[in-house]
Amino acid sequence: MKTSAGVLMYRIKNGLPAQTGKPEVLLVHPGGPFWAKKDEGSWSIPKGEADNNETVDELLDVAKREFEEETGFKAEGNFKYLGEVKNKSGKIVKAWAVQGDLDPTQIKINMIEIDWPPGSGKKMEIPEVDRGDFFELEEAKRKINPYQIPLIDEFEKTIANTS
């Protein structure tokens, strides 16, 4: 079974404690023609595929590497495991939360090659991620791919209310 690992970076709006400030989470929007006109339900945590034989600690390293590949920024700090979710195809996504901040307008665009149209054999270079932004939790739940909503729910339950 394929496994991906990712990082849900969060910040507390205005630097206030969670009891008075609102946490925001960083999501990224996939690039390419398929996603160009899609918004709600199409964003994701920065993540990437693992080799399937990594330990939990190694998966955290994969998550950090993929975060940097997709954003151009390093995720550093006290990582808290949020759990795992499974998408429609059965791929498992394991995620960690970390407090941090970055300027979403400075996200580095990483290019990848895909077949487009699918199955045509024609190659097209597209941005892996075309943009990123921080969202308050309710908006993040509308923006994120629905199978990843439980990660935000877990973040809200275990971290946002105690930060």
User: Residue 56: what pLDDT?
Assistant: 80
90's enclosing H/E stretch is none
Euclidean distance between CA atoms 150 and 128, whole angstroms: 24
User: Residue 163: what pLDDT?
Assistant: 52
Structure tokens that stand for 44 in this block: 């994701």
> Domain residues of the chain, as ranges?
3-160
- Reply yes or no on whether the pLDDT at 18 is more than 80: no
Structure tokens that stand for 7 in this block: 């990082």
Under DSSP, the state recorded for 91 is -
The band of 32, judged by pLDDT with boundaries at 50, 70 and 90, is confident
Structure tokens that stand for 15 in this block: 């630097």
The band of 57, judged by pLDDT with boundaries at 50, 70 and 90, is confident
Helix, strand, coil content of the chain in percent (nearest 5)? 25, 35, 40
Tens digit of pLDDT for each residue in 77-111? 999 999 999 998 899 999 999 999 999 999 988 88
Query: pTM value?
Result: 0.89
- Reply yes or no on whether the pLDDT at 5 is more than 80: yes
Point out which residues pair with 132 in neighbouring strands. 28
- Helices in the chain by DSSP H: which ranges? 56-71, 137-143, 149-155
Taking CB atoms within 8 Å and a gap of at least 24, the contacts of 77-81 are 79/7, 80/158, 80/159, 81/56
Count Cβ atoms below 10 Å from residue 109 Cβ, excluding itself: 14
CATH for the 3-160 domain, from 3.90.79.10, 3.40.50.280, 2.40.50.140, 3.40.50.1820:
3.90.79.10
